[in-house]
Chains A and B, each alone.
Chain A
Amino acid sequence: MKNNLLPLGTRDEFGVRSEEKQRIIEVIQRHFRNLGFARISTPIIEKQVVFQPYQLVNSKMYRLLDQEGDTIVLRPDLTLPIARFLSSTSIPLPQKFCYVGDIFRLSRSLSGSYNQLTQAGIELVGYQSTKAELECLINIYDLSREILDEQVTIELGYADFAKIFLDIFTTDVNLRKQVAQALFDKKITEYERLISSFEDQRLYPLLKEWPRLFGEPEDIFQELNQYELPKSVTLRLKKIKEIVLLVKQILPKQQLVIDLSSRAPQQYYTGLTFRGFAKSGEDYIFSGGRYDNLLANFQAQNEPAVGMGIDIDLLTDLCVKKFNRIPKTLVFSSIKNWSKAQALVKKLPNATLSLSDTKADALKEAQKLQAKLIDIEEDEDEFEDSSN
């Protein structure tokens, strides 16, 4: 067997991708440090039992055994280790934590998915107020502008909305689960077949519309206003409306949508959920929400909490795409003009120094790198233009 092969689903990172990823991590760490968050890092291996409440969709955990024969896993998530940490220490609450680290998920082999992913995030533990959710949303706004130079769309939902809404129609737990599953997967044919037994119920027209119940807040609220809904549903809608109003006041330019037809990011979520996505990109960049029962997995006393994860790899992909659109420049000079050349490199967005001894070699180097060559001594005018 060859000794230089990587395991499936992993990769080496170098050059622009590595640089961009590091830059993004630094921006995020600085951002949260400036906001007074406490940095936390936990081991990459944990006991498997820590992740009991964690749902892995289409992937599995890497497992190994420790000296005692207990099953150890490479962490697939960074929130539960923090909950484990809080339950095993006497850290005073409330606290705001921020983290950056790698998570590991065994995805379907040969699917093109990576098994080692970098995630950043925050956990606001011990905060009951809506201000905790708001702080996350404001951070999505600030970070997306700082890192991507564009706004992401924030999508709001409510963790148990589907369950509460389906309670109106049936007490059959199994049927409720099947309908919710078909709704979340938008298996429309299956969904329509399952809900046909509720045809004579007053809210059936809304049930029929439900898979498409996402979009601009005004449109969704207008649609829902046509129906008389039970208090359990209106209470949750009130919470979403409250957040929508606050965001519109504080971040009037922020694009907001509501989705009441999607699954919560994890089953441990209990309240408002939020995610952020860019115009391009294959997944959500930001994902989080309220999970007031999280610590109950580890201790008797519960604590209110809101958290948010940030997909660093996806952010990196988007930034690298932008970076690659900037033409590469190779700067050539004699040793006596080295400082001048280096100063120019620092000013240009995608440039590096040529280390070739002759201009002819520098030209070959530029060809290999598909870069434009600037000779600092000959292209004086261009150099002057770029410096200004």
Chain B
Amino acid sequence: MNLKIALTKGRVEKQVIPLLEKAGIDCTQLRNKKRRLIFNSMSQPFEFILAKGPDVTTFLERGVVDIGIVGSDILTEHRNSQYELLDLKTGQCQFVLASTDDFDPDEPKRKIIGTKYPNITKDYFDTLGQDVEIIKIEGSVELAPLIGLTDAIVDITETGTTLRENNLKVFDYLDKVSTRVVVNRMALKQHPQEIFRFVDQLKKIVTEEKALS
């Protein structure tokens, strides 16, 4: 039985492949992927599937993959209900509330907020007891307050460079984000040994990396 693992394409994929390799998993096919999206191995009990983050959560929910490797931003936004077994401590960044210098978070009005993450934004303003108008932005969220579309934005930042370069200032820090190993609830019951072996292999590497840093 091969475990089906959906790995988020792009930055997550680049950061996680070295961890998988250190855990003894051969990633030669993933490294030489060309345009392929599914990687079956005859020598190890894993089948990797490359997909976009939101699709990884859909695959997990529908039970078509056993394991997903995806950012916690996407898991929270898509209301993940599957098991989140491990924090890989990679892809670390943070949600922030940011805007131009003249933004007043305490101004008594119904604010307009731009974001790629409407659920996370709503949750945040709910905790503040504020009702806001949310505009879903698909591309460069930083543009929204600069062109007068929104009062502020809720977005992810790693170092704050993009925000600074666009003359935006952080007004509040929200949840931290990192890459997680998520397991389909039923798959954990159907293949507990195989899944825990995979998770424990990775956990050992994450702990070692943390000790070195």
Contacts and interface: CB of A to CB of B under 8 A. Distances in A.
Interface of A: 57-58, 108, 111-113, 153, 155, 185-190, 212, 214-215, 257, 259, 277, 279-284
Given A58-B81, A185-B81, A282-B63, A277 B186 contact: yes
A167 to B, nearest CB: 24
Interface stretch (B83-91, B122-130, B131-139): B83-91
A215 B63 CA distance: 21
Given A57-B81, A186-B85, A187-B84, A214 B186 contact: no
B148 interface: no
Interface in B38-87: 58, 61-64, 79, 81, 83-87
Contact of A189 (B87, B183, B189): B87
A112 B189 contact: no
B83 A112 contact: no
Interface string B170-190: 000000000010011010111
Closest 9 CB pairs of A and B: A282-B63, A186-B83, A189-B87, A187-B84, A112-B62, A188-B85, A58-B81, A282-B186, A283-B186
A283 B83 CA distance: 14
Contacts, number: 53
Contacts of B180: 189
Given A57-B81, A112-B62, A185-B84, 12 more contacts: A111-B58, A155-B189, A185-B83, A186-B84, A186-B183, A190-B84, A259-B189, A277-B190, A280-B190, A281-B186, A283-B63, A283-B186
Nearest to B72: A189
A171 B85 CA distance: 27
Instruction: Determine the main DSSP class of B at the interface with A.
Output: mixed
A190 B80 CA distance: 14
A318 to B, nearest CB: 13
A108 B192 contact: no
B186 A284 contact: yes
Contacts of B87: 188-189
Contacts of A185: 81, 83-84
Contacts of B192: 214-215
B83 A282 contact: no
Contacts of A284: 186
Contacts of B63: 282-283
Contacts of A189: 84, 86-87, 180
A158 B183 CA distance: 23
B196 interface: yes
